[in-house]
Amino acid sequence: MHRIVVIALPGVYPYELGVPRRFFGAAHRAGGPLYSVTTCTLDGQPVPTNADFAVAPTADATALETADTIIVPPWDGAETADDPIGLDRFADRRVLSYCTGAFTVAAAGLLDGKEATTHWCAADDFVRRFPRVRMRPDELFVDNGAVVTAAGASAAVDATLHLIAKDHGSAVAATVSQLTLAAPHRGGGQRQFIARPAVASTAGNSASDIQVWLTARLDEPLSLAAVAAHFGMSVRTLTRRFRAETGRTVGDWFADAKVDRARELLETTDLLIDTVAAHSGFATSAALRKHFRDRIGLSPQHYRSRFTRRFS
């Protein structure tokens, strides 16, 4: 039987703490469990969660010595703390992190030179702290074999079902999916859940001014030359200033802004896809579909079915 040990650190997130027992614990073959799941704290004593209650596992950190897979859920302080577990001692085990638990795994050095993911809100901080790790901020989970990292909350379920399928086949994972009412596979990455903040209106020739002006003209066929002329710059100066302030090209940002407008229309209206494309500045519905899939990982129709809001 595959032995899983989950470590609950102070301020652990209850949702992710409960995922291993619920999902790995539901994996059976011929009536018998395929995994044992033990939850421990560093000293065997209760720890507070980041909710309004504490948890009291019956095991301490010595349980980690028996683990085939060690799971690190997110916990308060993970984004700034080092590794209180001593995970570097367990480099020969499989390690799975959920959400910002990836910070703890990275602090142990287990992700150096590897790809990883975490919650998109924490991805920039992760990159600054661990430049030797190749961050994949759009992924719901990243499997490096010995180390697996999952993004926030529900992505813990995605990674767990993935590992069940990897360990015991898709049929076992499908049964767990049916028992838990969890989707066996979710299309798209984290980008579909990210709402970009609105650009504040200002006056001048900064990148934010250019963004405000372009946002008001998403459905116009604007060229770089036309944008530069409006702001009294050469195309070269416009491009250099915009990239210096945003790290992106004008065209790339403008395409994202158009996709964001399409997302809003798909969520809040029942407009036909052709009409959504026109209102978002895409010449054809095919162009909308391409840009949408490139940036969101889903088709416009799939996105609408998943995120539509009720409208009258």
We report the CATH number of the domain holding residue 120 as 3.40.50.880
3-state helix, strand, coil in the chain (%, to 5): 45, 15, 40
Rounded distance, CA 308 to CA 34, Å?
A: 38
Q: Which two tokens stand for residue 277?
A: 């494309």
Q: How many structural domains compose the chain?
A: 2
Q: Which residue has the higher pLDDT, 305 or 130?
A: 130
22 found inside a domain: yes
Q: Looking at the structure, tell me whether residues 31 and 70 fall in a common domain.
A: yes
pLDDT digits (tens, 9 = 90+) for 47-85: 999 999 999 998 999 999 999 999 999 999 999 999 999
Q: Looking at the structure, tell me whether residues 146 and 217 fall in a common domain.
A: no
Q: Which two tokens stand for residue 215?
A: 């946002």
Rounded distance, CA 42 to CA 76, Å?
A: 15
Tell me what pLDDT residue 192 has: 60
Please, what is the average pLDDT of the chain?
90
Residue in 14, 96, 2 with CA at minimum distance from that of residue 47: 14
Q: Looking at the structure, tell me whether residues 46 and 154 fall in a common domain.
A: yes
Q: Looking at the structure, tell me whether residues 61 and 179 fall in a common domain.
A: yes
Question: Which residue, chain included where needed, has tokens 């060229």?
Answer: 223
Q: Which of 190, 225, 247 is the last residue of a domain?
A: 190
Whether the per-residue pLDDT at 291 is higher than 70: the answer is yes
Rounded distance, CA 309 to CA 130, Å?
A: 38
Q: Looking at the structure, tell me whether residues 178 and 246 fall in a common domain.
A: no
Residue in 31, 40, 52 with CA at minimum distance from that of residue 6: 40
Q: Looking at the structure, tell me whether residues 213 and 186 fall in a common domain.
A: no
Residue in 16, 293, 299 with CA at minimum distance from that of residue 151: 16
Tell me what pLDDT residue 31 has: 84
Q: CB 93: neighbour CB atoms within 10 A?
A: 20
Torsional sign, CA 93, 99, 102, 104: negative
Rounded distance, CA 71 to CA 16, Å?
A: 10
Quote the domain boundaries for residue 292.
207-307
Q: Looking at the structure, tell me whether residues 94 and 220 fall in a common domain.
A: no
Q: Looking at the structure, tell me whether residues 275 and 165 fall in a common domain.
A: no
Run of H or E including 246: helix 235-246
195 found inside a domain: no
Rounded distance, CA 236 to CA 8, Å?
A: 53
> Do residues 160 and 24 touch, judged by C-beta distance below 8 A?
yes
Contacts 24+ apart (CB under 8 A), 38-43: 38/3, 38/4, 38/5, 38/6, 38/63, 38/66, 38/67, 39/5, 39/6, 39/7, 39/8, 40/5, 40/6, 40/7, 40/8, 40/64, 41/7, 41/8, 41/9, 42/7, 42/9, 42/84, 42/85
Q: Looking at the structure, tell me whether residues 211 and 136 fall in a common domain.
A: no
Q: Which residues are paired to 91 by β-bridges?
A: none
Residue in 130, 119, 153 with CA at minimum distance from that of residue 50: 153
Predicted confidence band at 193 (pLDDT cuts at 50, 70, 90)? low
202 found inside a domain: no
Predicted confidence band at 212 (pLDDT cuts at 50, 70, 90)? confident
CATH code at 284?
A: 1.10.10.60
Tell me what pLDDT residue 311 has: 47
One-character DSSP codes across 71-87 = EE--BTTTTT---SS-G
Q: Looking at the structure, tell me whether residues 186 and 212 fall in a common domain.
A: no
Q: Which of 140, 160, 190 is the last residue of a domain?
A: 190
Identity (one letter) of the amino acid at 79?
E
> Do residues 86 and 141 touch, judged by C-beta distance below 8 A?
no
198 found inside a domain: no
230 found inside a domain: yes
What is the model's pTM? Answer: 0.69
Q: Looking at the structure, tell me whether residues 105 and 249 fall in a common domain.
A: no
